[in-house]
Structure 1
Amino acid sequence: MAPSVLQNGGFLLAVVGTAALIAATGTSKWSVRDRPGDEEASLYRHKGLWQDCATTFSGFTQCGSLQGSSVLKPLFCIKGAFWAVRALMIIGVLLSVLGAMMSLFSLVLGSLEDSTKARMCLTAGVAIIIAGVCGITGASIYASHILASLKTSTYGGGHEASAQGGTPTYTFGPASFVGLMGGNVLVMAGILKSMAFREIMKAENAR
C-alpha cells in the first residue's frame, strides 16, 4: 500500500479518535442513573469525570463539581481509581493532539526528506497508540466500577434501596462508549502511521 494512503488514513483516524477522546473527557454522561425520580424530583442524574448533574422534569439541568469521596459513591469507593481515570484520559487527549499535529506536519511539509518524514510518522504513530491505550484503559476502569456497582445492586438489594431513596444505581452513559471507541480508533490510526513509516523506509532503501 502507498505510504501516502497510509499517512492520510492514519491522520484522518487520529483526528476522529482525538475528537472522540476530547468529547468523552469533557462530557458529564459517563454514567447515568437507571431509576428516575428521587427526593430532588430529578428526571435523571448523570456523572462525568468533572461534574455530577441532575436534570429536572422541567428540563433544567444543575451540575456540581465532583469533589469528595461521598460524591463519587456508589461507583468509586476508592478515590484513587477515579483520579487514575481522569489522569489517563487527560494524558490520552494530550498525546493524541500531539500525534495528530505531528502527523499533519509530516503531510503538509513537502520539503522534508523522506527519512525525516518517516521518523515523524513513527513518532506520531507511537504517541497516538499510547493515547489510544490510555483512553481504552481509562474507559475500561470506569466501566469496571459501573459493573461492580450494578452487581452489588443486583445481589445486594440495591434496587430496593434505590426505590426507597437510598443509594442510587448507575449504569453506562454514552461518554464511556465514546471514550472506548475513540481509544480503539486511535490505536488503529497509530498502526497505520507505523505502517507508513515502514513503507517510506522501504521506498528510500530501494533507491
Structure 2
Amino acid sequence: MAATLCQVMGFVLSLLGMGGIIAATGMDQWATEDLFDNVVTAVYSYSGLWRSCVRQSSGFTECRPYFTILGLPALLQAVRALMIVGIVLGAIGCLIAIFSLKCLKMGNMEDNIKATMTLASGIMLLLAGVCGIAGVSAFANLIVQSFRFTTYADGGFSMYGGGGVGGLTGSLTPRYTFGAALFVGWIGGAVLFIGGIMLCLACRGMSSDTKQRYDGMAYKAASHPTIYKSDTRSRPAYNDSYKVQSVDGRQSNQRFDYV
C-alpha cells in the first residue's frame, strides 16, 4: 500500500513538474526590464527564449521572434537545448510511468516488470528535472552578468550583444532582471525532481523480496554398493503324491494325490 501511494504521488508530482517546465519554456518573461531608476517609463520590454517583446504605456504590445540563431549567444542556445531535452525526457518518463502504475492492470504484467519500468521512469524524470533547473539557472546567470555590466548610456553592454534584445531597444540600453518564467521553471524542475525520487523509492517496495520455495525430500545414495547374490543351494524335489505312513512307522503303499 505504501509503495502504491508513493508511486501515485510521484506520478502526480511529475505531471505538475512537466507542466511547469513546458509553461516556462513557452513564456516570454524570462528577462524583464528593470524599472528601478529608469528614466523611460513609456516603454516596457521583456524577452524569452524565442522572441522579445515591447509593451507601450497605451497597452499595445509588439513581439519579434529571433529569426536567426547565428547572432544569438551560445549560452542561450544551450538553454534552449536543455529545456527541450528536459521536456522530451519528462514526456517519455511520464508515459512509462502510466503503464507501470501498480493500481492499473495491464494484462498479465508481473510486479517485477512494473518495478523495473517505474525505476526507468523515475531516472528519466530525475534527468528531466536536472535539465530544467540547469537551463533556468544558466539563463539566470546570464541575466546577472548583464545586470552588473549594463548602464543606461548609449553603447552599453547588452544581454544579447550591443544591439539590445532583439534589436527593439533604442539609444538607451535597459537592464534586465529575473522574469516570472525563471521562477516557474525552478519550481517545475524541483517538483519534477522530487517526483522522480519518489518513483525510484516506490520501485523498492514493488519488487517482491520473497522467492517461491519448493519443499522436497533429499535422497542420499548408499555409500557402499549392495550386491545381491542368487541362492545356488539345491532344493528338494516335491512329488505331487504323498505316501501315508502306518501307525507302526512303516510306509504304506497308499498314495493320496492332491489336485
Instruction: Report TM bin, short chain.
Output: 0.7 to 0.9
- CA–CA distance in 2 between the matches of 1:116 and 1:123? 11
Aligned length in residues: 192
Change (3 A) 1:49 1:62: same
- CA–CA distance in 1 between the matches of 2:65 and 2:71? 9
Deviations 1:123-161 (A, max 9, x none): 1001000000000000000000111111113xxxx1455
Indicate the residue corresponding to 2:184 in structure 1. Answer: 178
Deviations 1:85-113 (A, max 9, x none): 00000111111111111111212344321
- Normalising by structure 2, we get a TM-score of 0.69
1:106-121 alignment runs, 5 A limit: 106-107=100-101, 108-111=104-107, 112-121=109-118
- CA–CA distance in 2 between the matches of 1:37 and 1:95? 45
The answer to whether residue 59 in structure 2 is matched with residue 59 in structure 1 is yes
Secondary structure of the 1:175 match is helix
In structure 2, list runs of 5 or more residues that go unmatched: 157-169, 212-259
CA RMSD in angstroms comes to 2.3
Identity over aligned pairs, percent: 39
- CA–CA distance in 1 between the matches of 2:142 and 2:82? 16
In structure 1, list runs of 5 or more residues that go unmatched: 73-78
Indicate the residue corresponding to 1:84 in structure 2. Answer: 78
Indicate the residue corresponding to 2:214 in structure 1. Answer: none
Q: Which one-letter code corresponds to 2:74 in the other structure?
A: G
CA contact 2:122–2:199 (8 Å) conserved in 1: yes
Change (3 A) 1:123 1:70: closer
The answer to whether residue 7 in structure 2 is matched with residue 7 in structure 1 is yes
Higher helix share: 1
Secondary structure of the 1:206 match is coil
Determine which structure has greater relative contact order: mean sequence separation of CA pairs < 8 Å that are 6+ residues apart, divided by chain length.
1
Indicate the residue corresponding to 1:195 in structure 2. Answer: 201
Deviation at 1:71, TM superposition (A): 7.5
Equivalent of 1:129 in 126, 131, 136? 126
Indicate the residue corresponding to 1:138 in structure 2. Answer: 135
Deviation at 1:67, TM superposition (A): 4.0
Indicate the residue corresponding to 2:245 in structure 1. Answer: none
Q: Which one-letter code corresponds to 2:209 in the other structure?
A: N
Secondary structure of the 2:209 match is helix
CA contact 1:38–1:165 (8 Å) conserved in 2: no
Secondary structure of the 1:55 match is strand
- Normalising by structure 1, we get a TM-score of 0.85
CA contact 2:6–2:198 (8 Å) conserved in 1: yes
